[in-house]
Amino acid sequence: MISVQQALHIIDTTVVPNRIKKVKIAKSLGCILAEDITAPIHMPSFRQSAMDGYAIIWSESAKYTLTDEAKAGDAQDLSLKPFEAVRIFTGAKVPDQADTVVMQEHVSKIEHDLSINIMPNKGANVRPIGEQVKEGDIVLKKGSVLNEAAIGFLSGLGLTKVAIYLPPKISILVTGNELQKPGKPLKPGKIYESNAVMLQTALKRFGINDIKTFKAKDTLKATRKSIKKALKFSDIVLISGGISVGDYDFVKEALDKNHVDEMFYRLNQKPGKPLWFGKKDHQFVFALPGNPASVLTCFYVYVLPILKKFSGLTAYHLPQIQAKSATAFKNTTGKTLFLKAYYNGEDVTILQGQQSSMLHAFASSNVLVKIPENLENIAINDTITCIKLDGHGS
Ligand code: AMP
Ligand code: MG
């Protein structure tokens, strides 16, 4: 049996993102960059006017003669002598000799004679070459999230495609002879199967949509075959049930038969003690204990960080906060506890119904309180650590 800390460390150091794809920039919103981006050009790539006005060679004089015009998009190189001015518009190429653009609001004009009423500083309103980025600069780092600003920025550099990390493909495998699909009256001895849909929707919340679901009866043959099929499809396999020590728990043996190497099994935690994690080449398998609250707790604490890390995110654990406890609590188990709780913005109430078979309290919780294995007494107003759950509570 290993500690929660050891398990998290194994997971942190085992998984690296490895699904990379080049996609059109317009299709990359919310994706994680899988490459450093180097600017292919200076930006701007020529000296640009930042204003509508007049380009001049700066001098003490206020009098200039208008000689020509430069619009945005014009390609020609206009020449300019001292005391001459070129009518210029925002974004247009500034003539090479000109060093300053005077905004039109500060100029009086009679035919070709210009009089500058407010002379700006030398160099004003001219965007130098490479002012924003220089050719060859690394402008966005691997691991950055591509938001609309980044998409606009990269398009402005002329790029059309980027390499991104793809989220993992997931297989969910639910095991158990007792499982019945909801929708019909419950048969004797059966329970409604609920872990698959819970995991599917949790995955979807975090942007993972490539999901296949499999079922297996409690036999070694069925479990082994289903694991084989699940491994064929996916990067990460999530198995529910069959990992404890009962006579009809075949998942561990079936994983072994499929050559999935165990990284850890059994954690000093409640709920979710029989959690199993393993690896086959670049694929990962979690065998989650079947009790619904164990499944979801293990999902938030162990599976979700891996999904995020695999997808290229660098902040991959759920956020934690410290809050005052509104509940007195005793931990006599010597295990790390993850307790369903409700945080109202001021203090946190540990809810009734913590058993791993019960989801009722989970449904009205918005945090999981994490109590370390060696902490025995929580008094009211003690500060406790809470893992925030997205989409739970209000
Ligand atoms: P197991 O880990 O297979 O021993 O299952 C532990 C408990 O979780 C048992 O009471 C199962 O009936 C229940 N369970 C297992 N799988 C599911 C599931 N997919 N949906 C709901 N409950 C389940
Ligand atoms: Mg079972």
pLDDT in tens, 277-320: 999 999 999 999 999 999 999 999 999 999 999 999 988 999 99
Please check whether residues 175 and 295 belong to one and the same domain.
yes
Number of the ligand closest to the Cα of 359: 1
| 244 lies in some domain | yes
pLDDT confidence of residue 392: 72
pLDDT by residue (tens digit) across 154-173? 999 999 999 999 999 999 99
Please check whether residues 232 and 297 belong to one and the same domain.
yes
- The β-bridge partners of 239 are 173, 287
Please check whether residues 279 and 347 belong to one and the same domain.
no
Please check whether residues 37 and 55 belong to one and the same domain.
no
Q: Whose CA is nearest to atom 8 of ligand 1?
A: 291
pLDDT confidence of residue 314: 86
- Secondary structure of 335-385 as H, E, C letters: CEEEEEEEECCCEEEECCCCCCCCCHHHHCCCEEEEECCCCCEECCCCEEE
| 331 lies in some domain | yes
Q: Whose CA is nearest to atom 14 of ligand 1?
A: 290
In this prediction, residues 320-325 reach a mean pLDDT of 98
Atom number, ligand 1, closest to the C-alpha of residue 196: 19
Q: How many domains does the chain have?
A: 4
Atom number, ligand 1, closest to the C-alpha of residue 178: 12
Which of 187, 194, 195 is the pocket-test mutation for ligand 1 (most atoms within 8 Å of CB)? 195
Distance 209 CA to ligand 2 centre (A): 26
Which of 191, 215, 251 is the pocket-test mutation for ligand 1 (most atoms within 8 Å of CB)? 191
Confidence band, pLDDT 50/70/90 cuts, at residue 211: very high
Phi, psi dihedral angles at 25 (to 5 degrees):
-55, -40
Asked if the peptide bond before residue 188 counts as cis, ω within 30 degrees of 0, the response is no
Mean pLDDT over the full length of the chain: 97
For residues 160 and 27, the answer to whether their CB atoms sit within 8 Å is no
In this prediction, residues 330-353 reach a mean pLDDT of 98
Distance 168 CA to ligand 1 centre (A): 25
Percent of the chain whose predicted confidence (pLDDT) is above 70? 99
Q: Whose CA is nearest to atom 7 of ligand 1?
A: 291
Neighbours of 309 (CB within 10 A): 21
Distance 111 CA to ligand 1 centre (A): 88
| 275 lies in some domain | yes
| 85 lies in some domain | yes
In angstroms, the CA 289 to CA 328 distance is: 28
165, 184, 213 - which closes a domain: 165
Could you tell me the sign of the dihedral formed by the alpha carbons of 141, 143, 149, 152, in that order? positive
Distance 249 CA to ligand 2 centre (A): 6
Atom number, ligand 1, closest to the C-alpha of residue 242: 3
Please check whether residues 140 and 26 belong to one and the same domain.
yes
Q: Which two tokens stand for residue 164?
A: 């991104």
Please check whether residues 294 and 209 belong to one and the same domain.
yes
* CA distance from start to end of the chain: 36
Atom number, ligand 1, closest to the C-alpha of residue 289: 2
Distance 160 CA to ligand 1 centre (A): 48
Confidence band, pLDDT 50/70/90 cuts, at residue 393: low
Please check whether residues 100 and 136 belong to one and the same domain.
no
In angstroms, the CA 34 to CA 140 distance is: 10
For residues 346 and 324, the answer to whether their CB atoms sit within 8 Å is yes
Q: Which two tokens stand for residue 197?
A: 């849909």
pLDDT confidence of residue 339: 98
User: H-helix or E-strand containing 285?
Assistant: strand 283-288
Nearest to 44 by CA among 134, 150, 123: 134
Could you tell me the sign of the dihedral formed by the alpha carbons of 18, 14, 284, 337, in that order? negative
CATH at 71 = 2.170.190.11
Residue 134 pLDDT exceeds 80 = yes
Residue 183 pLDDT exceeds 70 = yes
Nearest to 171 by CA among 238, 107, 254, 227: 238
Residue 394 pLDDT exceeds 80 = no
Helix (H, G, I), strand (E, B) or coil at 186: coil
Please check whether residues 306 and 246 belong to one and the same domain.
yes
Phi, psi dihedral angles at 167 (to 5 degrees):
-65, 160
Residue 18 pLDDT exceeds 90 = no
Which of 240, 243, 247, 295 is the pocket-test mutation for ligand 1 (most atoms within 8 Å of CB)? 240
Confidence band, pLDDT 50/70/90 cuts, at residue 117: very high
Q: Beta 347-350 vs 320-325: how paired, if at all?
A: parallel
310, 337, 371 - which closes a domain: 310
| 393 lies in some domain | no
276, 310, 344 - which closes a domain: 310
Please check whether residues 35 and 54 belong to one and the same domain.
no
Distance 364 CA to ligand 2 centre (A): 26
In angstroms, the CA 229 to CA 172 distance is: 11
Distance 247 CA to ligand 2 centre (A): 10
Please check whether residues 291 and 365 belong to one and the same domain.
no
Please check whether residues 24 and 157 belong to one and the same domain.
yes
Distance 308 CA to ligand 2 centre (A): 28
Q: Where are the alpha helices (DSSP H) in the chain?
A: 4-14, 148-156, 195-205, 220-233, 251-257, 292-298, 304-310, 360-363
Residue 213 pLDDT exceeds 70 = yes
Please check whether residues 219 and 301 belong to one and the same domain.
yes
| 154 lies in some domain | yes
For residues 275 and 286, the answer to whether their CB atoms sit within 8 Å is yes
CATH at 349 = 2.40.340.10
Number of the ligand closest to the Cα of 295: 1
Provide the residue range defining the domain that includes 227.
4-18+167-310
Number of the ligand closest to the Cα of 244: 1
- Give me the residue label for tokens 């942007």: 207
In angstroms, the CA 394 to CA 389 distance is: 11
| 262 lies in some domain | yes
| 206 lies in some domain | yes
Distance 389 CA to ligand 2 centre (A): 27
Edge-first strand order for the sheet with 32-33 is: 20-24, 161-165, 32-33
CATH at 136 = 3.90.105.10
In this prediction, residues 226-233 reach a mean pLDDT of 98
Q: Find the residues whose C-beta lies inside 6 A of ligand 1.
A: 174, 176, 178-179, 191, 193-195, 240-242, 244, 246, 289-292, 357
Q: Where are the alpha helices (DSSP H) in 34-132?
A: none
